[in-house]
Amino acid sequence: MSTDKNTKQVDLELRQFIKNLGYIAGGTALLITVPWLQSFTTDKLSEIKNEKARVAILGTGSRGQYHILNLLRIPHAEIVALCDNYPPNLKAASDLCPKAKTYTDYRKMLESKDIDGVIICTPLNWHAPMVLDSLAAGKHTFCEKSMALTMDECKAIYEAYLHTDRVLYFGMQRLFDEKYIKGLSMIHSGLIGDIVGIRCHWFRNNDWRRPVPSPELERKINWRLYWESSGGLTTELATHQLEVSNWAMKRIPESVVGMGDIVFWKDGREVYDSISLTYHYRNGVKTTYESLISNKFNGLGEQVLGHKGTMELEKGQYFFEDVAPAPGILQLINNVEKRVFSTVPIAGPSWVPETASKQKPHYVIEGMVHTTSGGSMVGAENDGSDNLISAFCQSVITGEKAKDIVEECYSSTMLCLLGNQAMKEQRKVDFPDEYKIPHLKF
């Protein structure tokens, strides 16, 4: 249980984050480029005063417990219910918040009038039925990424959202990560010029398995490894970075090609442990995505390549293409060492860019920038998740929908599912017309 001191500190951190957003790109201009923040301003936060959102956690595994720990530190949140059909996880969550009522049947939990909002942290195949049931029960709803296991389920959730007055959020925490917000704002201001390419990757070195106390629990506990309950590396990892790619481009790619294989972890799993995808935008720009879980050297990252520079969003830094030339004496030494004088024309050598000084990064945010290696299967500190879950609780109280969050998750999830289709069918797959929604710009 968090102390009062910790709670007050987090409250101050969240308020400072909200306040800082106004200085990133100049208030109104910022809210145009990141519209979901319109319901997460200092003025909006002050409206809730001492009210609390009464929330239930549906799915109390590692990610559910991660959210519990954040919620315990948020002053406008109260955890009133927990639900899971796996007793060890339910017990662990109950130990964290013993006052919360426990359930094993989520439909029974949804009948409670003491619950304002539901936070869903279950396997992907349960996302659609639980989100739809939660909205139908009149609950404000937060669901972890990705949106759903199939394209039809994504469309059903989107349609339900259009016809409800309930709030719906999804776990796209980069939308609330300050270095991403500021970095993308700088890209859109023209800092690195026209975007000519985007490179995304996420590497780990682990088998993606969890201990199974009994064989019949294999598919229940290791649900990420089977197509019936998981989209594999795309829906678990790529969904975040494809969303960032679309955010940078302000549009959606029209097609995808790719390859997926089980290269190393040949242990009975069905989903790929190595994938490579290329998404093609109508203007010719391509996003490449690569992920594998048998080598962690490169970690994770997104590089937005412009004709004037490169932005590394996860690291919160950027570089310019034109670098100041090295001092003349260093260039002379470089030429001598490389024996270039044997082929120098009579007019003498020109000082070429290859002899320029080594590039040094510029930083998106002054001071310490929180980054992650991408190795955790649970979550990372200061990755935007705390701000995201705080924003959801605020929306539960005010009833104000966060603009575009549902659409952002819809588009990135659809791209993940299309990527899986391209890999399975070994062909180029176009974004189907029947799944296009008005928000999407191609």
pLDDT in tens, 51-63: 999 999 999 999 9
Coil, helix or strand at residue 194: coil
Q: Are 372 and 315 in contact (CB under 8 A)?
A: no
The verdict on 278 and 416 lying in the same domain is yes
Classify strands 362-363 and 317-320 as parallel, antiparallel or unpaired: antiparallel
Per-residue pLDDT, 382 = 72
Classify strands 53-58 and 117-120 as parallel, antiparallel or unpaired: parallel
Between 269 and 332, residue with greater pLDDT: 269
Please tell me the distance from the alpha carbon of residue 21 to that of residue 18, in angstroms, as a whole number.
5
Say if 248 falls within a structural domain. yes
Contacts of residue 115, defined as CB under 8 A and 6 or more positions apart, other chains included, come to: 54, 55, 56, 80, 81, 109, 139
pLDDT band at 37 (very low <50, low <70, confident <90, very high): confident
Domain ranges, residue 154: 4-175+383-401
Structure tokens at 9: 């500190």
pLDDT in tens, 387-422: 899 999 999 999 999 999 999 999 999 999 999 999
Per-residue pLDDT, 15 = 56
Say if 101 falls within a structural domain. yes
Say if 332 falls within a structural domain. no
pTM: 0.88
Cα–Cα distances in angstroms (integers) from residue 98 to residues 59, 411, 421, in the given order: 16, 38, 44
CATH number of the domain bearing residue 415: 3.30.360.10
pLDDT band at 43 (very low <50, low <70, confident <90, very high): confident
Say if 390 falls within a structural domain. yes
The verdict on 393 and 413 lying in the same domain is no
pLDDT band at 28 (very low <50, low <70, confident <90, very high): low
Say if 340 falls within a structural domain. no
Structure tokens at 100: 């919360």
Please tell me the distance from the alpha carbon of residue 431 to that of residue 255, in angstroms, as a whole number.
6
The residue type found at 31 is: L
pLDDT band at 34 (very low <50, low <70, confident <90, very high): confident
pLDDT(349) > 90: no
Contacts of residue 339, defined as CB under 8 A and 6 or more positions apart, other chains included, come to: none
Structurally, the chain folds into a number of domains equal to 2
Question: What's phi and psi for 288, nearest 5 deg?
Answer: -100, 140
Please tell me the distance from the alpha carbon of residue 226 to that of residue 272, in angstroms, as a whole number.
10
CATH number of the domain bearing residue 133: 3.40.50.720
pLDDT(356) > 50: no
Please tell me the distance from the alpha carbon of residue 82 to that of residue 104, in angstroms, as a whole number.
8
The verdict on 132 and 225 lying in the same domain is no
The verdict on 100 and 224 lying in the same domain is no
Between 295 and 38, residue with greater pLDDT: 295
Query: What's the whole-number average pLDDT of the chain?
Result: 88
Q: Are 35 and 21 in contact (CB under 8 A)?
A: no
Per-residue pLDDT, 322 = 87
pLDDT in tens, 376-390: 667 667 788 998 999
pLDDT in tens, 103-160: 999 999 999 999 999 999 999 999 999 999 999 999 999 999 999 999 999 999 999 9
Mean pLDDT over 186-209 rounds to: 96
Per-residue pLDDT, 21 = 56
